[in-house]
Structure 1
Amino acid sequence: MEIDRNGQVLELQIYAADAQASIRRWADHVADALTLVYGHWPRDRWRMRVYTIGTADARELDSSRDVIPWAQVNRGTVDTVTFYVLAGASTEQLNANWTGYHELAHLLIPYRGWGDMWFSEGLASYYQNLLQVRAGQLSEQQMWQKLYEGFERGLADTAFDGIPLSRVSRNLRQNGGYMRVYWSGVRYFLDIDHRLRQESGGAQSLDTSLTDLNACCADKSMSVPQMVERLDALTSTTVFSAEYQRYRSSTTLPDYRALFASLGLIILDGKIELADNTPGARLRSGFAIAP
């Protein structure tokens, strides 16, 4: 089936005889969430394929099970995101799963898989949280809680401390280090987003930067250095390239706590509290709101 949004078309292919309705509602939800960055889908035509696997009894599914155990993105003439979901999963269970938001967020940049996995996976991991709060799936507090917990997992992944992030990222599939690689990428994009918002008085953000990148380059195949160079030009800054060089040469995950404190985020016994009477609170609230 084809879903049309203002002249843009999503080809939705569902390979599940007994779950068409619930999967269609979930697909609508995550596809709409993808528009909450620059107001429309990244491509004029794209595709989602959904297969069901495993149990067919929804009563067997509990909150601890990953109802989307596998997914992948293929970039090409028609960008295609393929999902394998557990048969019997409800729309609500699928909506609550982070995987759909993460995989679709990969489409926000014209990256074609040429190195720097920390950059592409960091962007998808960062936006999976922003998309969920913007789509009403998480509260603002829950979003920052998830970011906090992710950074803590990244800091705990110390096996390759002392080795530059670029090398750990390059050897990720052979050697591991997933938490450090992914959450170093999230830290990079949070840092960029914060600096753009702060230094421009809210006129610029990661959202606006990616919107401009999409407008010029959605149909291109770009490496990370090419995207970084273009993003600097689009924002009339050097923030993307300067931080890119700093992060790729980093030998540990940069700490996040000072940045959290500047945004009025208080950490108490592993829980995030939002301080609304601080200078950074207004800036912080912008992250959760679609531009």
Structure 2
Amino acid sequence: MFAVEIDYINLSKLTHERQNKVKNWVEHGVRSTFVTLGPLNQKRLPVTLKPRYFAFEPVPWASVKRGQNDGIELHFHRYASTQSLLKDWSLYHELAHLYHPLFSYDNFWLSEGLATYLQNIIMLNNGVVDHQEFLMRLKAGLQRGALQTNHITGPLNIVSDNMWSLNAQQRVYWSGTAFFIQAQLALKKHNSPYKTIEALVKKYQSCCKHPTHSAKQFIAHLDKLSQSAIFSTLYSQYIKRTDFPKISNLQLSQLRF
């Protein structure tokens, strides 16, 4: 079914009925991600399941587990409905992380911004959200990022390096998302062989990804593949910026693909 084999860990902790529900959810997420970003360049995909009896949302926590085969860990409400799991962003977000290497903490704004941007693209491309909800999610996230920047100040790389202690996820994630929105708008105007961020990431993952690549090396590859200086130029503008990027509603509307 997939170019990679999904290895479920802790699946036996669920009843047979819930096992099928979770497998359908994960396989839908993997299939949707592959539609947008292409198959992962690895043979196996470990998926560690952490079902919870009590949770206030379908997927209260999820993360990437790096290793010989990069995988994901999903903490989810074992009684969540199939529809609520499919609509939750967490699975798409963590799967998107598997298309880039692990970056240093001061560059988490870049990795989290990429995964946040791509999760929304994946959900849009696969009909999980429509274009109106896609725009609404981006607007709301950018507003949260701007609001948090008002009271969590300092250069973005320093805030990113201390994201957990500062509880600065909104500024970090959405500054990075703004980076990729601006890069996407620039790509559309540039005579590049790849017109979208997802097409670039798909190509990078298939041709060039290496687990030791730094954020700057990743950026250099995106520049090379796009035959531009879009990413390095934006990176130099973002890495130490102290303000939140201004993205207008008009710019968001221009993200139509």
Q: Output the TM-score relative to the length of structure 2.
A: 0.91
Tell me, yes or no, if structure 1 residue 128 matches structure 2 residue 119: yes
Structure 1 residues 189, 76: closer, same or farther in 2, change over 3 A? same
Matched with 2:152 is 160
Contact 2:145–2:175 under 8 Å retained in 1: yes
Q: As a proportion of its length, which structure holds more helix?
A: 2
| Residue type at the aligned position of 2:20 | A
The 5 Å alignment of 1:30-45 reads 30-45=29-44
Using the alignment, how far apart are the partners of 1:213 and 1:167 within structure 2?
27
The 5 Å alignment of 1:1-291 reads 4-5=1-2, 7-13=3-9, 14-18=11-15, 19-55=18-54, 65-113=56-104, 115-157=106-148, 158-161=150-153, 163-200=154-191, 203-257=194-248, 260-262=249-251, 265=253, 280=254, 284-286=255-257
Matched-pair identity in %: 26
Structure 1 residues 23, 262: closer, same or farther in 2, change over 3 A? closer
Using the alignment, how far apart are the partners of 2:103 and 2:5 within structure 1?
21
Q: CA deviation at 1:219?
A: 4.3
Q: Which stretch of structure 1 is more off in the superposition, 151-160 or 216-225?
A: 216-225
Larger-gyration structure (1/2): 1
* Residues paired across the two proteins, number: 253
Using the alignment, how far apart are the partners of 1:203 and 1:119 within structure 2?
20
Using the alignment, how far apart are the partners of 1:113 and 1:107 within structure 2?
15
Q: CA deviation at 1:203?
A: 4.5
Using the alignment, how far apart are the partners of 2:193 and 2:213 within structure 1?
28
Matched with 1:272 is none
Contact 1:150–1:183 under 8 Å retained in 2: yes
Structure 1 residues 164, 188: closer, same or farther in 2, change over 3 A? same
Gaps of 5+ in 1: 56-60, 266-279, 287-291
Q: As a proportion of its length, which structure holds more strand?
A: 1
Q: CA deviation at 1:43?
A: 2.8
Post-superposition Cα deviations, 1:124-164, rounded to whole Å, max 9, x if no partner, equal: 11111111111211001100110001111111111133x21
Post-superposition Cα deviations, 1:211-242, rounded to whole Å, max 9, x if no partner, equal: 22112233432110111112112222111111
Contact 1:68–1:83 under 8 Å retained in 2: yes
Contact 2:103–2:215 under 8 Å retained in 1: no
Q: Secondary structure at the match of 2:80?
A: coil
Matched with 1:273 is none
Contact 2:63–2:94 under 8 Å retained in 1: yes
Contact 1:8–1:45 under 8 Å retained in 2: yes
Using the alignment, how far apart are the partners of 1:233 and 1:111 within structure 2?
20
Q: CA deviation at 1:248?
A: 1.0
Contact 1:34–1:41 under 8 Å retained in 2: no
Q: Which stretch of structure 1 is more off in the superposition, 28-37 or 216-225?
A: 216-225
Post-superposition Cα deviations, 1:236-289, rounded to whole Å, max 9, x if no partner, equal: 2111111011011211111111xx3145x3xxxxxxxxxxxxxx4xxx321xxx
| Residue type at the aligned position of 2:5 | V
- Coordinate RMSD, CA, aligned: 2.0
Using the alignment, how far apart are the partners of 2:97 and 2:38 within structure 1?
16
Gaps of 5+ in 2: none
Using the alignment, how far apart are the partners of 2:215 and 2:241 within structure 1?
17
Q: Output the TM-score relative to the length of structure 1.
A: 0.81
